[in-house]
Each structure stands twice: as C-alpha cells, then as structure tokens.
Amino acid sequence: MANVVKTMLAVGACKASRSALRIMHRGGTTTPGRLAMKIDSNILESVSRGMEIIVVTGTNGKTTTSNMIGHALSEAGRDVLANRSGANLLPGVTAEFTSSATATGRPRKHYAVIECDEGALKQVVPKIHPKVIVVTNLFRDQLDRYGEVMHTLEEIRKGIRLVPDAILCLNADDSLTASLALGVPNPVTWFGIDCPVGEQKNVEISDARYCIRCGTEYEYDYHTYAHLGGFRCPKCGYRRIRPAVAVTEIEKVSSSGSIIRMRFGTDGNADRAESADGAGAVAAASAETEQEVTIGLPAVYNIYNGAAAIAAYQAAGFDRSEVISSLADVHSSFGRMETFRLGEVPVQMILVKNPAGCNQALSYLSGLGEDYQAVFCLNDRTADGHDISWIWDADFEKVCGDPHMKHTFVLGDRADDMQLRLKYAGADEKDIEKADGNAELIEKLKQSSVPVFVLPNYTSMLSLRAALGAITGKQEFWKG
C-alpha cells in the first residue's frame, strides 16, 4: 500500500512541477523527473511496466531515427510515447514516462520510442526493459564530457549487459558499434550501406583505424563516411557482417530527400566467416527482396537513420512496410534539419555537434550547386561540451572554397574562434561577418537574395530556433 501511495505522490509531483515550469516558459526537462525519483526511486519501473519499448542511442542520429520510428508507429494508428529533444538522460526519460502515466502510476500508452544518451543507457534500460536497443554509430563527441570514444563504447556496453534479452540493432558499417555484439548473449540484427558513398580516395579515418580486437589496421572494401564502410581486419578476421537491412544503391539525393534501393534478407553469420567468393551471401540471397525507398530528409546520414529505423521496426515485430511508407514524409526533427521562412528567404537549420556530423552537413552544402549563405553558430556551454577544438577537424574548407558560398555569418560565445577557423579554411576575410546576437542576425538574413543554411551547435540552436520561431510562428519545442 505504501508503495502505491509513493507512486501516486511521485506522479502527482512530476505532473505538477512540469506544468508549473511550462507556465514559466521554461523547457524544464529534468526537475520534474528528479522530483519524482526522489519521492519514489522505482517510479520509472512502475510507469513503464509492460510497455513495448525501442531505445535509440549512439553519437549521431538518435533524434532523427527515433522520430522516424515514432512517426511510423503513429501513422499506423498506435499511441506512442516519445521523449523530446534534450530529455535523454535518466531524469528526462523518467519525467516523460511519469507524466504520461495514470494517477496511480500505470502506463497509458503501450508503445514507446526513447532516445537515450550513451552515458545514461546503463541507468535507463534496466528500469524500462526495452525490447530493442538501436545503436546508430559512434564518433568523437563532446570530448570533455566523456573523455574518449572508447569510453563511450564501454558505457553503452555496460547498459547492454544489464538487459541480456533486448534485441540489439546495430550499424554493421561501424567497427566500433559492431563490436557491441561481441561476447553478449543478446540477439542481434544489423543495418548498413552495401555500396561506396562519395569520395573513395584519401579518406581520413580518425575514430577507429585499428582493429578493436587485435590492433591491426583495418582494410576497407569501400567507404561511406568517416570510419564507416566495408571494414575488415586482415589479421583476426573481425569484419563487417552482411546486414539484413541494407542500402544497395543511392539513386538520387537532393535537398528534399533521397531515393535509394534497399534489400531485405537475413543477417550474415559472424561465426561462420563468409568465404571470399560469397557462398554465405548466395545462400542468404535466395530469401532476399529488393525495393525502392524514399526518405524525405536530405543528406547521406539520414539514409543511415532510415535504415536503422527500418531494422529496429521489424526487429520489434512490426510490419516493415509501415515504416517504409512513412519514411517518405517524415518530418524533420527539431533543429536537426528544419526549414523556416524569413519573408521570401528559406532558412534551413542543421544541428552540428561533432566533426563527422558537421562534415556531412558541409558536403551537403557544397554539393547543392546553387548559391547560398552559410551561418555558423558556436557556443561552448555544458550541453555543447566546453571543448570546441573539433571545429579544426571538420572540413570547412569544402564550403569556404565553394564558389556558390556567397557570404558567411558567425555567431555565439565562440564566434571569434569560428571566424578564425573560416579564415584558415580559405575564406576571404571580407566574406566573414560577425553578428551580434540572434536579432541582428535575423535582420541581416532577411536581406538575403539566396537561400540560407544555418549550422549551429546545441545551445546556440536552442536560442536561435526560439528567436526564429517567434518570428515565423513555429512553436517552441516543449509545446510541440
């Protein structure tokens, strides 16, 4: 009895503090959850009991992949719980589940898609017992928060060890992510891209060049981006596994989305190394189907996100065709690739927070073949990571050397560092302009005669999005 009372109190406190924070116009994603956990330490277990849950983690693409899965489930008529941007640590996840529960702490919804911070996975998954855990990829990110990428990998592994029944849905092309399948009892399913993407020469691999098992340098059959691709270790045999959900060809990529060909079959077997002539692959191929898929978001990394969403969707036991048809009109998620209109000027915002994601965004811009202005916003607050040195690892040269790039603005706590980076990337000093705050930037962008692309990091995205939203009438995120 006492437990039920505690649960009810926790639910009540969480809901009350959440509405109070909303009235005060604060995003308030952690306080209500902390409050609920303080009253009832088992609250998250209670309010998620019996639900079917998909958890998405990894460095890049968590939000977009979760949105793709959530969108498909809703389109198919299921009532889905999802956590919104920023609420991906234990208190935020707790608040989402708790405030959606009944007064007695029972879940109202049966399905949930939760994006989870890599470091918080080990706290979250033992409480919510997910059916599927998706790991999108691993790159260096926010070095001062996690130390290094190997440390992040270990954090995820700790989380997985706590839920041996959860199905792992892993990126086959990422040697770091793929290693999560080694030595765990969990069932595993894979997604990936079978074909080369972009430049194949002089690919600089900085995150995972050496075999995670034996230290030998990987050989690659092809590259997709950063350290992702057809990797194999010439010494110990650790290699990419042929995935059940794979992109076989990229037919068309434009600013409104991509058209790709995909094959669906069974996963290659890691223990029975496939022979060089592909005997294993031939056996699997008999059960394979191929299909054209449209993804309504531009850039190659969204192709990975789409493949991850499809693989997770079918691993959770849903009909693959539902997610495939909904991918064509998936909404761009909060700040990740969102378009605003300032009068006649289209302004597209692409969140960038590490070199791999930033390089993808920069390739997207330099590949447009049309004139544009670029805005780079750089803050160095806690949620961004205080260390902004990664800007020197991203190829701003691509955009600074692009004749279609007409002008660039810099903004944020570290605008001076950004402006210096652009100078060394080859931009002319007179083409670089520092804006003093969001309002001034917006006034200047209104004058633009060409489309504008804004590449902000996390907290600068929050403030600029709020300012743009106020003018263009888009809702602030916690109201959406």
The answer to whether 389 contacts another protein (rule: CB under 8 A) is: yes
Please name which of 101, 82, 104, 103 lies closest in space to residue 93, comparing C-alpha atoms: 82
97, 146, 238, 334: which one binds Zn ion (CB under 5 A): 238
- Structural contact between residues 430 and 408, judged by C-beta atoms closer than 8 angstroms: no
DSSP string covering 196-229: --S--SS----S--B-TTT-PBPEEEEESSTT-E
Q: Find the part of the chain contacting another protein (CB under 8 A) among 96-104, 119-127, 305-313, 386-394.
A: 386-394
4, 103, 236, 283: which one binds Zn ion (CB under 5 A): 236
**In which residue are the tokens 């130390």 written?**
147
- Determine the 3-state secondary structure of 1 from DSSP: coil
- Determine the 3-state secondary structure of 82 from DSSP: strand
Query: Where do the DSSP E strands lie in 61-197?
Result: 80-82, 111-115, 132-135, 167-171, 188-193
Residue 43 token pair: 């609250």
Q: How far is the CB of 238 from Zn ion (least distance, A)?
A: 5
Q: Looking at beta carbons only, is 232 or 434 nearer to Zn ion?
A: 232
299 torsion bin: left (phi>0), alpha (psi -120 to 50), beta (else): left
Site for another protein in 190-249 (CB under 8 A): 205-206, 209-210, 215, 217
x/- contact string, 134-163, with another protein (CB under 8 A)? ------x--xx--xxxx-------------
Q: Find the part of the chain contacting another protein (CB under 8 A) among 84-92, 234-242, 291-299, 419-427.
A: 419-427
Distances, alpha carbon 414 to alpha carbons 96, 225, 389, 420, 422, in Å: 33, 27, 11, 10, 13
Site for another protein in 166-195 (CB under 8 A): none
Q: How far is the CB of 143 from another protein (least distance, A)?
A: 7
Q: How far is the CB of 223 from another protein (least distance, A)?
A: 15
What does the alpha-carbon distance between residue 127 and residue 417 come to, in Å, rounded to a whole number? 42
- Structural contact between residues 274 and 242, judged by C-beta atoms closer than 8 angstroms: yes
Say how many C-beta atoms besides its own lie within 10 A of residue 182's C-beta: 12
- 381 makes contact, choosing from another protein, Zn ion, none, with CB < 5 to 8 Å by partner type, with another protein
- 244 makes contact, choosing from another protein, Zn ion, none, with CB < 5 to 8 Å by partner type, with none
Query: Where do the DSSP E strands lie in 85-154?
Result: 111-115, 132-135
Q: How far is the CB of 233 from Zn ion (least distance, A)?
A: 3
- 421 makes contact, choosing from Zn ion, another protein, none, with CB < 5 to 8 Å by partner type, with another protein
Q: Looking at beta carbons only, is 404 or 423 nearer to another protein?
A: 423
424, 437, 443, 470: which one binds another protein (CB under 8 A): 424
- Structural contact between residues 84 and 477, judged by C-beta atoms closer than 8 angstroms: yes
Q: How far is the CB of 128 from another protein (least distance, A)?
A: 29
Say how many C-beta atoms besides its own lie within 10 A of residue 204's C-beta: 10
34, 78, 109, 423: which one binds another protein (CB under 8 A): 423
The answer to whether 214 contacts Zn ion (rule: CB under 5 A) is: yes
Q: Looking at beta carbons only, is 62 or 239 nearer to Zn ion?
A: 239
419, 438, 457, 460: which one binds another protein (CB under 8 A): 419
Residue 106 token pair: 């029972």
Number of residues that bind another protein (CB under 8 A): 35
DSSP string covering 369-382: -S-EEEEEE---ST
What does the alpha-carbon distance between residue 145 and residue 138 come to, in Å, rounded to a whole number? 15
The two beta strands, 257-264 and 289-295, are antiparallel
Residue numbers of the site for Zn ion (CB under 5 A)? 211, 213-214, 216, 233, 235-236, 238
Residue numbers of the site for another protein (CB under 8 A)? 140, 143-144, 147-150, 205-206, 209-210, 215, 217, 380-383, 386-393, 413, 416-417, 419-421, 423-424, 429, 459
